[in-house]
Amino acid sequence: MLMKGKRGLIVGLANNKSIAYGIAKACQEQGAEIGYTFLNDSLKKRVVPIAAELGSDKVYKLDVSDETDMSAIAGLIEKDFGKIDFLVHSVAFAPKEALTNSFMKTTKSAFNVAMEVSVFSLIDLTNRLESVLSDNASIITLSYLGGPAYIPNYNVMGVAKAALESTVRYMAEDLGRKGQRVNAISAGPIKTLAASGIGDFKQILNWNETNSPLRKNVTTQEVGNSAMYLLSDLSSGVTGEVHYVDAGYNIMGMGTVEKNEDGKTIMSWDAREK
């Protein structure tokens, strides 16, 4: 088992449809012992049963914007695990108005919230856990194509993901001196709780399915398997990378083309609609 003897913390699990759940399941099936965090009492009701399903009773309250929670997390981890070998950062947030209005209408406060929660929390959390991260620990965070490229309605979250990917590279250099690794996974669109806040998300799903080389959308299981590789010793020579798990969509310069009944070349999306 690839993760046997490994211990880790997954931050940001929301429900059994989340990417973090796919990662947790893949790691647990390969023998890892995992602790989980929940944001508030409402999410605790979802996370505790999922943790139990995956064989864990190690569940901690952690709001990355709350100093009390952040100050306590390392002590809780040390008490239950001693050291941990991996950390999964699955945390992102932007106020709703920043995802529904045009990008140019983003307020300073919404911008700051998105950057603090979605980006700085990775740096802050890693620093807080420094004393309990093993020397060869692996850290991953979750990004999206809306960082390096324009995606409709992604708005300030796209800017945050771009900053997050840059953060991964700078962290990789700093932590690499200790033997620790940092990578990001850029997953294709998946129906998750976080995705529900993005306008026209169904169209994004349809477009990705139609125009990706594999002609499909990825699953949380597929993302979880890739994350498990990055968290395991199989990827001991990999750091500072953004690993795409999106059925290949990120390589496309434009939509795929098909022929209609008259032999005319048309975009595959147009063919699907007709």
> Which residues have a catalytic role annotated?
144, 154
Q: How far is CA 216 from CA 13, 131, 150, 240, 253, in A?
A: 25, 42, 21, 27, 17
Q: Comparing C-alpha atoms, which of 239, 237, 228 is closest to residue 3?
A: 228
From CA 259, how far away is CA 208, in angstroms rounded? 19
CA quadruple 123, 127, 128, 132: dihedral positive or negative? positive
- Assess contact for 18 and 90: CB atoms under 8 A: yes
Cα 34-174-70 angle, rounded to 5 deg: 45
What token pair was written down for 243?
Answer: 């690993």
CB atoms within 10 A of CB 134: 17
CA atoms within 13 A on the CB side of 117: 20
